[in-house]
Every structure is written in C-alpha cells, then in structure tokens.
Chains A and B, each alone.
Chain A
Amino acid sequence: MSAERITVVRSTTASRIGLGVAIAVVGIAATVPLWLSAGTMRSLVTFLTLLALAQMWNLLAGYAGLLSVGQQAFVGIGAYSLWVLADKVGVHPFLAVPLAGVVALVIALPTAGLAFRLRGGYFAIGTWVIAEVYRLVAANIGGLGGGSGVTISSASKLDMTVRLQGTYWIALAVAVGSVLLVYLVLRSRLGLALTAIRDNEIGARSLGVRTFRTKLYVYLLAAFGSGVTGAVIYLNLLRIQPDAAFSINWTAFVIFIVVIGGVGTIEGPILGTIIYFALQETLADYGSWYLVLLGVLAVVITLRARMGLWGLVRRFRPIQLFPVQRRLGDEQPPNPDPDAPALR
C-alpha cells in the first residue's frame, strides 16, 4: 500500500460546465418578472412547483426505494397550513410558506409510523389511503371550509404585482432549493447510506446503516419539500378545495415526469418536467387522450428503457451534470450501463 494521498473527487468537466449553465439559467429566470407577462409567470410557477414535487418524489422512490402514491397528502397539508397560518394566525403569506413545510414535516412523523409498517406495493397503496384520510378530514371539518374549501384572503389582499412577483420568486427558490436539497442529501452521509440500502438492504444493515432511520429522514425531507411546494401552488391559485388539493393527480403527473425523465437521477426530473410541459402545450386540446399517451409512455419506458430519457442520453455520452458519484482521484468516471446484469 503506497503512502500517497488518496483523494476522493466528484466533479467532472461536464458538471463544471453544467454548473455554469445552471447559474446562468437561474440568473435569467430570476429576472423574468421584469420582462414576461403575468400569464407566463403563472405558467412558470406551475412548472417550477411541479419540478420541485418531482424532485421530492424522486428522492423517495428513486433513491430511497419508497414508492409513494400519497405525496398529495403533503401538498394538501401545505396548502391548508398556509391558509391557517396566513388567514387565521396572521403570518405574512410569504413567510407562511416555509412554515407550512414545517407543519407538513410534523404531520409526516406519525404518518410514517403507520406507513412504514408496510412494504413495497402495499406501502404504496398505504400512502394513498393516508392521503385519502387527510382529504376526507379536510372535506368534513367545517372549520377547514368543508367540501367547498377556503380562499387565502390575506394573500388576495396583497397588491397584485407584489403577489405575482413574490410568488414567482418563491417558486423559483423552491425549485432551485429542491434540486439543491436532493443534491446535498446525495453528497452527504445520508446519501451514501441510501445508495447502500438501494444496492443491498440487508448488507447495509449488517454494516451498521440504520435503514429505518435513513428512510424516515428521507420521508420527512420529502414531506417538508412537498408541503412547501403545496403552499406555493396555492399561493398562486388562492382557492383551496380538498378534492383538488389532495388529488391523486399531483402524484400521477409527478410519477410520469420522473419515470419519463429518468428515475433515480437529479437530471431526470428536470428533463421530465420540460417534456411534460411541452406535451401539455401541444396536446392540450386532446383531453383524455393526452393522459392515455402519458400512461402509455410511462409503461413503455418502464419496460424498455427503465432509466428514462436521461438514462438513454447517458448511454451515448456518460455525463453527470450533478456529480454525486464518488471516485478516486485519477479514475475516469465510469459509464453506468443501466442494463448490465447485476452480480448475484
């Protein structure tokens, strides 16, 4: 064993270029309120919040192996928390957004306690049932507006331009934050633990990785992120109805975005959201056929190109824009061939 210093390196040329591009894009995006119309800004808010939700779902499913069909629970909780904090407690709506995330995180604790008693597909439906419970509770409690919902009046009282621009910038911050959050998690020890669990849960546990706790932390983070995003979404929409706020559609669209873009990568959900928006613009007139197409795409990609479109890109040029793989100083970054058979 030589006495040379061994360095662990993460960034690649592609990632350094990517970083530059990303900073530029975010910078331009920040100036958008100055030169784009209100309508476009609202569309962008939808884009940014979907991207944030997708990153959260991907964190759960792609990295922690927890396929949740119930993230809409936290979208709804975020929305209602925003209303309670802003209208009932009197916090400024913009400030209430991160606080709504905290509420979602707190509620996620007992939720996880129940959901984690199940595994795999049964965990998935379990999260769905729990979301349904939250929806029914919200729809049945008079204090929360019952079936007809509530309006965030404190926000609608703000000056329109201030509200639109503020919402936009918050949405941008949330989207960038969600990407950063996932990126930082993966680079941390939590991320190492996740990779170990994903590769071999029992082996990881025997090495001392606290699998339950690791998954719990990820679940809580995703709940926080989804809660914050839910608050932003409804800051934009202003009217909260339980059936819409807790709708499975939030998760359905996010699943399609992540699957089509590429599960288990940071770049995948970004690509997926872009494609989803493009499809939505061009196919908006076709109603349900558009959803059929999304479903077919998701099925085909899961069966034939499991790593999604970003996975296909990586096959041709093995780049990683968000460098999360660790390697020793001199090595070339490996080409992760997603279809190589695993060692058994």
Chain B
Amino acid sequence: MDWVNAILQGVMLGGFYALFATGLSLVFGVMKLVNLAHGDLSVLAAFIAVAILDVLPINPLLAMALVVPIMFVIGWLLQRYILDHSLGPDPMPALLVTFGLSVIIQNLLLEVFSADSQGLDAGRLEDEALSLGGGLTVGWFPLLTFVLAVLVLVGLQLFLSRTRTGRAFRATSDNQRVARLMGIDNRRIYALSMAIALGVVAVAGVFMGIRTTFAPGIGPARLIFAYEAVIMGGLGSVWGTLVGGIVLGVAQVIGAQIEPGWHALAGHVVFLAVLAFKPSGLLSRRGAV
C-alpha cells in the first residue's frame, strides 16, 4: 500500500512539474528559445507573493490572482525589450542572456529578501487529505495542484488548436518567416508567448511556495526538473509535458522510498535513461508545438 500511495503522490507531483514545464516548452516551441532563467522566474513569482502578503494579509491563493498578471506583464516586457534582441539563427546569445538573467534574479532576490528560507501559508488546505478508500489517501493540496495543471494544459491545448491567435502561434513555430507573410506580427506573438509562459510559471511558483519552503537559490533545480519533464515527454507535445512530469514525479518519489537522499538522483537517472534509449521523448511527435 505504501508503494501505491507513493506512486499516487508521484503522479500528483508530476502534475506540478508539468505546470513548471509548460512555460518552458511553449516558449521553445514558438521561438526556439531555451530560457535558462525559467526556474528563477518561478522563484521570483513566489517572492512577489511574499511581498504582497507582507502588505495584504490574505490567503496566498488569492495573492496569486495578483502575481499572475504581474508576471504576465514582466514576461511581455522581458521579451519585448531584452530577449527579442538576442534571438536569431545562433542560439548562443539568447542562452547567454537568459543565463545572465538567472544570476541577476537570484542575487537581486538575495539582496532584497536575504538567503532565509521562506514559505507561503495556505492554512488548513495544505494539511488535509482525502481518503480514496482501500488505504489510499491523497492530500487536498497536491490533488488541487494536479487538477489545476491538467486544466492549464487543456486550456493551452484549446487555445493553440481552436483560436486564431493559437493558430498564429503554431504557424510561427513552424516557420516564423513565412508567418509574417500571413500578417502575423512575430514580435507580438513572442511577447505574448513569454507572457503566457510567465503567467503559468507564476501559478507554479506560488504553489511551490505553499507546498515547500523556498529560497533565492533554488531556481536552477526547478529549471532542471522542468526541463527533464519536457525532454522525457517529447518536444512539441503539450500532453507529453504531463506524461514527462508524471514519469519524473513517480521516479523521484520511488527513489525517495528506497533512500531518502535519492529523490533527485532517481529522477536524473530515469531522465538519462530516456535520453539514452528514446531521445525523442516518450510521446514524441513530428512538428512543432
């Protein structure tokens, strides 16, 4: 039973990772940009929540309603005024700029908030669990996270496949040059995709803050997990991100069951195995996002 509960926890965790990974994958699909500051931006979102809660004593989940639009705007401005200038046939400048941003964000947070661990308190919701019968229990909060992750992914998939702008996103990721010939303004698409990505990452960051403690330096770890979920699921697949996240989550939880210090390592090992034997991903598909 312990094992089944563990796997269930791993699946819930997977939803959480999928939430992190979605933004990374969307941005890569549309502009072929790997954002090395992705994890740090989620930490930034959590700290923005901390700042808001210092002033407004509300539940963090409500604070999220403010953090998401703030991060949306940050994403738009970041893309428009900084990252746009680094895009081009050579991927290196964009990688270097996002790496620089990662260091800037981490150290700014260190200066403003200190290196102390922080947490967001969502009250009783965090601790309560739901009994599924047969000895299986799942925490309300992890379940909520998972459901939310699925909703976000469904929303994103619908956006991409059913809306005019979503079609423009897909056309741009197939061929950004020809997309311009359709009247599509690339710069707006890029800014919008980064804004959406950061909006989603804001949700992920706040949830992370509620679920565990966080500090300015944990961004890179988040980035690595998000990235492992994306690669394992297969580039270009929205649902692949969920599958990849779940595989990662389950691997980590099982690793922790075997030996408490091994949860991250177990995830890395499974990732490397997938990379070695099925590098195109578990759910890979030809074509872009």
Contact = CB atoms under 8 A, between A and B. Distances in A.
A67 B92 contact: yes
Given A69-B36, A124-B95, A302-B93, A130 B101 contact: no
Given A128-B220, A295-B104, 7 more contacts: A113-B276, A121-B36, A122-B235, A125-B227, A132-B264, A291-B103, A302-B93
Contacts, number: 122
Contacts of B92: 61, 65, 67, 263
Nearest to A286: B111
Interface string A149-178: 000000000000000000000000000000
B97 interface: yes
Interface of B: 28, 32-34, 36, 82, 85-86, 91-97, 99-104, 106-108, 110-111, 220, 223-224, 227-228, 231, 235, 261-262, 264-265, 268-269, 271-272, 275-276, 279
Interface of B is mostly: helix
Interface residues of A, number: 42
A140 interface: yes
Nearest to B220: A248
6 contacts: A120-B32, A124-B36, A125-B36, A259-B96, A288-B111, A302-B93
Given A114-B272, A295-B103, A302 B108 contact: no
Contacts of A67: 91-92, 95-96
A5 interface: no
Interface in A232-284: 248, 252, 255-256, 259, 263
B271 A129 contact: yes
Given A133-B272, A259-B96, A292-B108, A140 B261 contact: yes
Nearest to B223: A125
A118 B110 contact: no
Contacts of B101: 295, 299
Contact of B275 (A114, A256, A289): A114
A287 B91 CA distance: 31
Interface in A305-329: 306
Contacts of A121: 28, 33-34, 36, 91, 94-95
